[in-house]
């Protein structure tokens, strides 16, 4: 997850945008929420697709069709754009889990038992889709979320809506090279056998860290991958032996030669792959990271409840308890189901990694993906050289009227406390004024709480051993245990800047009278 860019809208369809979850072939995906605080994944559709004749009607039809697939392995469609509105968009449940693509890239192939469980769960997902008389048409590692209870198959309906020859000749291919079936690659209408082929290719990736038509670490053009899919045999080196015959059958070039999802599920069960075991078989490290991600999501909901949206669409400072929480969108809804039917595991597409990037609700959006200098991710050595911390700063709790390093806090600008750089907060340490406290939590998140212990702002970082440093160059930075910057206020280049806990409850970084950064926590 990344913070919003200056060019991003603040809301779409009446739903406020909280951050960027990623981008795909169809458009940008944002983190959003309902008026009651439930988190959503809101996907916008690219203008060139929306402008194609017939796409809008096809999009609406396929989204309605996708709601026919009611299974434990799919996400709920909550809302979508009205006819004629631009951009077109689709809002679904947000699942706080990494994609299979991201997880394997970061941690390597799944263990055998987890792989068998994943295969069984995804077979169940495809059976539900096919029993509804539909096809997914874009099964790939990036569209599989490794949620706690069971994997989710996402992006259903959008790819189907774009699966039209008019888009193919414009260069918009449905499916992903290396995972789409050869019948898709040559332009045939993708149906159930194509999904089975793509599922098998996805399972090869889960087992080996690469697709069946690519080599480890290889970077090749999409056209080369498509050629291999159509003309070459798959490479199943590294796949558990008991799965090789099954996946070989699924990867048959001839659609008629592939088993159905139901038949594949039966074969898997004979080999110990049964659905319903994912929660017990998923990697232990994954379970731990999901807990941290779910905690971050709950914090984000709390923060979002303090945010109001003005008629101009701007997000001002978080509201006080007497203010009105964000109202429901005024645009007429096309909800496919009552909101109460959303599952308790709400939350997304996530691209949730071990480090969750910052979403900033203040008057400035800070860059979670940048280094303290804003010039790319820093190395551990660079991070250490920049810190210039006081030896006492990481261990001493500041007393009233003092900065963490022990200096007397100068008064000014009605501030309850002025903290001078450099200082560091290690895990569990905090600095506070009368109404606000800044703490680096045990989960690695840098959070500002009010006097009622309600989160008012968070960097949305996570990780054991994270530290927060207010540096001599004026930059407030969260570093992970390896010394990499995972969030920064981007206020570097201002030696002498101070961190101010203002009397109005706002926490800001100032250089003289100039506010360089604000958390937007004013009461």
Please give the positions annotated as active site: 138
Which contiguous run of DSSP H or E holds residue 477? Answer: strand 476-479
Least Cα distance to 152 among 209, 71, 78 occurs for 71
Q: In sequence order, what DSSP letters do the residues of 406-472 get, joined into one string?
A: SPBPPP-TTEEEEEESPEEE-TT-EEE-SSEEEEE-TTS-EEEEETTS-EEEE-----TT-EEEE-T
Which contiguous run of DSSP H or E holds residue 106? Answer: helix 100-107
H-type alpha helices, 138-241: 158-162, 165-168, 182-185, 192-208, 222-231
Least Cα distance to 356 among 463, 447, 279 occurs for 463
Contact 467, 478 (CB under 8 A): yes
Rounded CA separation 7/264 (Å):
46
- Residue with token string 């809101």: 42
Contact 160, 154 (CB under 8 A): no
Q: List the Cα angle 144/149/153 in 5-degree steps.
A: 20
Radius of gyration of the chain (CA): 25
Rounded CA separation 234/237 (Å):
9
In the 8-state DSSP scheme, what is residue 76? P
Rounded CA separation 46/257 (Å):
36
Asked if residue 422 has a cis previous peptide bond (ω within 30° of 0), the answer is yes
Which contiguous run of DSSP H or E holds residue 152? Answer: strand 152-153
Least Cα distance to 308 among 292, 327, 294, 293 occurs for 327
- Residue with token string 């990623």: 22
Rounded CA separation 14/328 (Å):
7
Rounded CA separation 69/74 (Å):
8
- Residue with token string 């149906």: 191
Q: List the Cα angle 21/24/28 in 5-degree steps.
A: 50
């Amino acid at each position: 997850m990344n913070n919003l860019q200056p060019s991003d809208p603040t809301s779409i369809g009446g739903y406020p945008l909280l951050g960027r979850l990623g981008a795909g072939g169809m458009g940008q995906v944002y983190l959003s929420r309902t008026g009651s605080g439930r988190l959503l994944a809101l996907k916008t559709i690219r203008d060139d697709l929306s402008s194609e004749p017939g796409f809008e009607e096809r999009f609406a039809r396929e989204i309605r069709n996708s709601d026919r697939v009611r299974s434990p392995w799919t996400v709920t469609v909550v809302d979508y754009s009205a006819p004629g509105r631009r951009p077109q968009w689709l809002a679904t449940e947000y699942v706080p889990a990494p994609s299979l693509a991201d997880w394997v890239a970061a941690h390597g192939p799944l263990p055998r038992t987890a792989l068998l469980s994943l295969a069984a769960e995804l077979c169940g997902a495809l059976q539900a889709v096919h029993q509804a008389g539909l096809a997914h048409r874009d099964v790939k590692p990036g569209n599989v979320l490794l949620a706690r209870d069971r994997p989710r198959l996402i992006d259903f309906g959008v790819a189907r809506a774009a699966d039209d020859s008019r888009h193919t000749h414009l260069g918009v291919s449905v499916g992903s090279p290396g995972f789409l079936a050869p019948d898709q690659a040559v332009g045939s209408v993708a149906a159930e056998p194509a999904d089975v082929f793509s599922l098998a290719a996805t399972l090869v990736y889960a087992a080996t860290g690469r697709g069946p038509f690519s080599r480890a670490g290889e970077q090749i053009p999409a056209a080369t991958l498509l050629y291999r899919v159509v003309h070459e045999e798959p490479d199943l080196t590294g796949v558990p032996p008991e799965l090789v015959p099954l996946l070989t059958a699924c990867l048959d070039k001839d659609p008629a030669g592939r088993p159905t999802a139901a038949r594949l599920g039966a074969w898997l069960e004979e080999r110990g792959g049964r659905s319903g075991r994912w929660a017990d078989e998923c990697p232990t490290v994954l379970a731990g990271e999901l807990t941290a991600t779910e905690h971050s999501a709950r914090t984000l909901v709390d923060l979002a409840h303090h945010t109001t949206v003005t008629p101009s669409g701007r997000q001002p400072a978080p509201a006080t308890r007497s203010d009105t929480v964000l109202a429901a969108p005024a645009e007429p809804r096309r909800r496919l189901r009552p909101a109460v039917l959303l599952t308790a595991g709400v939350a997304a597409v996530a691209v949730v990694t071990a480090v969750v990037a910052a979403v900033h609700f203040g008057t400035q959006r800070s860059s979670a993906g940048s280094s303290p200098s804003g010039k790319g991710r820093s190395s551990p050595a660079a991070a250490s050289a920049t810190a210039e911390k006081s030896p006492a700063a990481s261990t001493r709790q500041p007393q009233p009227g003092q900065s963490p390093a022990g200096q007397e806090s100068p008064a000014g600008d009605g501030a309850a406390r002025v903290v001078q750089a450099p200082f560091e907060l290690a895990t569990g340490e905090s600095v506070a004024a009368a109404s606000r406290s800044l703490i680096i939590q045990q989960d690695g998140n840098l959070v500002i709480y009010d006097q009622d212990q309600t989160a008012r702002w968070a960097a949305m970082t996570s990780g054991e051993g994270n530290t927060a440093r207010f540096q001599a160059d004026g930059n407030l930075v969260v570093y992970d245990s390896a010394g990499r910057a995972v969030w920064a206020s981007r206020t570097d280049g201002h030696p002498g800047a101070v961190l101010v806990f203002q009397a109005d409850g706002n926490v800001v970084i100032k250089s003289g009278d100039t506010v360089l950064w604000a958390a937007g926590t004013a009461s």
